Amino acid sequence: MTARKLSISVSPEVEETIKAAAEEEGKSVSAWLAEAAVEKARLAALHAAGRAAARELVTEYESEHGALPEQSRRRAREFLMEAGLLDDDDWRAAG
């Protein structure tokens, strides 16, 4: 595998956190950051797939039963936000 060099800027606190975590796992900073980035991307893809599946379910439900009442949408949004699966930016982007 060919490695590519990247340059990043972080605060001193973040630098220390990264170094400590890498050392704890017996990895180089580069290896630890690469694994962290891949995991972050994997989780983002899972969240996106979950949101897409939820939109599909709502669309299917609404095509059979009509539009969900606004109160139900609001309760669902609150639940998803409390569960950490949605933030205000996600909700605004969904329209």
pLDDT in tens, 40-49: 999 999 988 9
Quick check: 85 and 50 in contact, CB under 8 A? yes
pLDDT at 15: 97
Q: What is the mean pLDDT of the chain?
A: 89
% of the chain residues with pLDDT over 90: 64
Identify the CA nearest to 94 among candidates 82, 79, 77: 77
Question: Which candidate, 10, 35, 6, places its Cα nearest to that of 21?
Answer: 35
User: Considering the entire predicted model, what is its pTM?
Assistant: 0.68
